[in-house]
Structure 1
Amino acid sequence: MVSKLFQKFFHSQTSGGITLIFCTIFSLVVANSLFSDSYQSLWHLDMFGHSFAHWINDGLMAIFFFLIGLELKREIFVGELSNIKKAILPIFAALGGMLIPAGIFAILNFNTDTLHGFGIPMATDIAFAVAIITMLGSRVPLSLKVFLTALAVIDDLGAIVVIALFYPNPELPLDFTQFGIAIAILLGLFALNKMKVKSIIPYIIGGIAVWWFMLHSGIHATIAGVLVAFTIPFDKDDSKSLSYKTQEALHIPVAFLILPLFALANTAITIEGGGFSHFSFPLAAGIFLGLVIGKPVGITFFTWIAVKLGLCELPTAVNFKRVFGVGMLGGIGFTMSIFVSMLAFNDPDYINEAKLMILVASVTAALLGFFYLKTTLTKRQDFSD
């Protein structure tokens, strides 16, 4: 049975995804208009020693990752990941959707200075992907929506692990003292959880402290958001849970403030004369092929392996044709891919090239996934293979 919180999460992601699309179009248009200089300077305004864009990327995005952590925790306790048999399917699908795209990128960029961007095509944007599948209306079985959401949540967890392991803060060397303090505060928050402290105040104060010390430790500060989320008390009776109440309170500000600000700040890309002609082949091809080809192939192939090995079963109303369609939507990298691209490269030209190719690949994946599923998901909903 799908919880009310999942439904709210799904619908907030739908509306948020549509908002992201409009924000991205607006940002690209303004960045290439007569107002380009003023628009670009807006995101570079100095605020307390850092740019406005920096506070969005390292500050507000930690709240986004915090919400992802809360959803992941809910999935583990009462959702699709609460039963190992049910969890294996989206876990295998997510692994395929990360490893195959990363492999394609790595092969194409081997022995180049863009190889470090291998994590870019590993990501899936939940909001964007959910928005597209919702446009197909009632013909989409609920089980397919749940599968896509669980897959995307695990995919985000995978991206967070990749960020933590391979993309430390480029501006700071690793500081074990700061990191140790962050972990000590985190353990204190877990202790509060064990003592059944249900007030959100100490978790907010402790969470900000964890974020601050993590920020100065050399490990990307947004990782703190996910870790702190797991300290928030969870009750299987969702409506009484502090985790539930916190997640419910964050849906709207994340979907309609934080992610739109991220999109506006990070898609203000000026497209120079010549369009795509100045792109470096391995970087552009690695991102495009990784997202558009690698994602559906990886997700479908690893799902097929898991099912054929008898580790799990496909849910009711889901077949491999529909898994492939979901895999296409998994190629919508957008938010997470852009986020990783800014960590992967120091060269602003590479960053802008990567961002623009992420947008091209994500739109391509969205269109292909939409029209493929539209033809595959008939209103009669024939669920046979």
Structure 2
Amino acid sequence: MSGHDQPKGLFRFFIDNSLFLITGAVVALIWANLAAQNHSESYHNFIHFDVRTLVGAGGSHEATDSHNSSPSVVVEEAEVIESHADGETIVEEAEHASTGSHEAHDSHEVGGHSDGDSGHHWYSLLFIINDVLMSLFFAIAAKEVWESLLPGGSLSNPRKAATPLLATFGGIVGPAVFFISGAMLTGTTAEFGKGWAVPCATDIAFSYLVARLIFGIGHPAIAFLLLLAIADDAAGLVILAVFYPSAPIEPMWLLLTAAAMATAWLLSKLKVHSHWFYILGPGIASWFSFYQANIHPALGLVPIIPFLPHAASDLGIFAREELNRQDTLNEFEHFWKVPVEIILGLFGMVNAGVVMSSVGTGTWLVLAGLLLGKPVGITLMTLFAEKVLRLEKPAGMDYRHVVSLGMVAGIGFTVALFVSVAAFKQPGAIQDSVKMGALLSFAAAPLAVLIAKGLGVRAGDHAGLVGDTTAEAATEPA
């Protein structure tokens, strides 16, 4: 990804290394655990904060409070019932009903609709970040996927991209198989089965940073990994849209999506340059159509991205030369790159707040998928591509590099955390245990370093790489 008017100093360091996301996640973990120790609702109240209270809007806070049942409300309800009837059973039922109301409310706030309410969840901080602001993150991801299909892009030459694409397939199927197999072995398919896609993700930014450390700048393994991660992103967008709707899909609303795409196409034919016309017009219409169709609205900007006027070729992800490109698509990324990094920090803050005691079956299933399924799937499919289909690996790569980058690809984090929330909409022990697996996928980084060292992989060790300018361009940091 490129950027424009790059920030300086410590801020630039945080941007370049995606540290806002890590910082947000760490803050959320500390806050949630301290709140749990002190029996405080502060973290829960933060993520469900109704932003209308900032401008003094009346009535909304009470509506939200009626759903956000705190322990004190539960106790009061229990006491009222206990004063009218004798016995512990009724008290327990009251507590269960109150908790159920709270969980139902939460499930509507993430990519869902609020039933029988004034739609107050639209103003929840959690909804605004996860469903509205994160649409910009997925739009930038879609931009990278789209550009990779242009001439010169990593996916533009089917023969050259065939092996990494098959490796991508292995990197999706492998984790899913390990996850589902683990769920079957532990007898938890009913509880965790729908989370099979959580370990299928690869975090582009963090895997890129770790790969540079292991292989060195310009190594073909980095270009291979980036191509794999881009294709993984494309598959992830499809999986989110198809397998994790917030409710039964309402296809009629997709007509509005088609109209938004047609409008964006018309704007491009009229040579409208500013990306704001595309985002504030067709973009909002597309987002709203996804929301109404029950497709995750965070994907709402994706359909219009290919219609933004763009360069005729791709220079490669992270290519420095893209800084000098002023087409609409690059203008869009130049403007939003820094805000999106801050949005990712907020995303970490509202999603990573799980208590350490949440480690459980879901955690181990996700980690099995990412730390075992990823490297196994990627390695086996690369072997299949080479030995059975007679395809070739990039010059300068052998299976030491394939196994090492397979483990690097096990860093799921951002998208894995997002899919955790999409798959398990109801907050609670199951969702938290799966989230913990996404967070702990950072273990893939030190494991990859150890594996590479054990296999004798050294940074800059890519003898046989002859003039592969694609690899150089693809990994040149912006």
TM-score (norm 2): 0.71
| Structure 1 equivalent of residue 347 of structure 2 | 262
Deviations 1:315-370 (A, max 9, x none): 2322221111111011111111111111112442211110012222x122121012
| Structure 1 equivalent of residue 176 of structure 2 | 102
Mapped to 1, the partners of 2:383 and 2:239 lie a distance apart of 25
Q: State the one-letter code of the partner of 2:168.
A: A
Listed as ranges, the gaps of 5+ residues in structure 1 are none
Listed as ranges, the gaps of 5+ residues in structure 2 are 7-11, 53-119, 314-321, 465-478
- Does the 8 Å contact 1:130/1:149 carry over to 2? yes
User: Structure 1 residues 288 and 209, CA, compared in 2 at 3 Å: closer, same or farther?
Assistant: same
| Structure 2 equivalent of residue 208 of structure 1 | 284
Instruction: State the identity as a percent.
Output: 30
Kindly report which structure 2 residues correspond to 1:1-385, keeping only aligned pairs within 5 A, or say none: 15-33=16-34, 37-47=41-51, 49-50=120-121, 51-77=124-150, 78-110=152-184, 111-136=189-214, 139-170=216-247, 173-204=248-279, 205-236=281-312, 239-255=325-341, 257-272=342-357, 276=359, 279=360, 281=361, 283-310=362-389, 312-348=391-427, 349-360=429-440, 362-375=441-454, 376-379=456-459, 381=461, 383=463
- Does the 8 Å contact 1:124/1:336 carry over to 2? yes
Q: State the one-letter code of the partner of 1:253.
A: P
Q: State the one-letter code of the partner of 1:91.
A: L
Deviations 1:14-40 (A, max 9, x none): 824343333322221222125863233
Deviations 1:153-194 (A, max 9, x none): 111111111111110014xx4223322212222222123334
Equivalent pairs counted in the alignment come to: 368
- Does the 8 Å contact 1:20/1:128 carry over to 2? no
Name the Cα RMSD after superposition: 2.7
User: Structure 1 residues 379 and 134, CA, compared in 2 at 3 Å: closer, same or farther?
Assistant: closer
Q: CA deviation at 1:60?
A: 0.9
Q: Which secondary structure state, in structure 2, belongs to the residue aligned with residue 235 of structure 1?
A: coil
| Structure 1 equivalent of residue 67 of structure 2 | none
User: Structure 1 residues 240 and 20, CA, compared in 2 at 3 Å: closer, same or farther?
Assistant: closer
Q: State the one-letter code of the partner of 1:46.
A: D
User: Structure 1 residues 347 and 199, CA, compared in 2 at 3 Å: closer, same or farther?
Assistant: closer
Q: CA deviation at 1:127?
A: 1.8
- Does the 8 Å contact 1:168/1:219 carry over to 2? yes
Structure number, greater radius of gyration: 2
| Structure 1 equivalent of residue 78 of structure 2 | none
User: Structure 1 residues 201 and 141, CA, compared in 2 at 3 Å: closer, same or farther?
Assistant: closer
User: Structure 1 residues 233 and 288, CA, compared in 2 at 3 Å: closer, same or farther?
Assistant: same
Q: State the one-letter code of the partner of 2:355.
A: T
Q: CA deviation at 1:66?
A: 0.3
Deviations 1:56-89 (A, max 9, x none): 1101111000001111111111321121122212
Q: Which secondary structure state, in structure 1, belongs to the residue aligned with residue 18 of structure 2?
A: helix
- Does the 8 Å contact 1:14/1:128 carry over to 2? no
Mapped to 2, the partners of 1:113 and 1:380 lie a distance apart of 45
Q: Which secondary structure state, in structure 2, belongs to the residue aligned with residue 314 of structure 1?
A: coil
Mapped to 2, the partners of 1:191 and 1:321 lie a distance apart of 49
Higher mean displacement: 87-96 or 28-37: 28-37
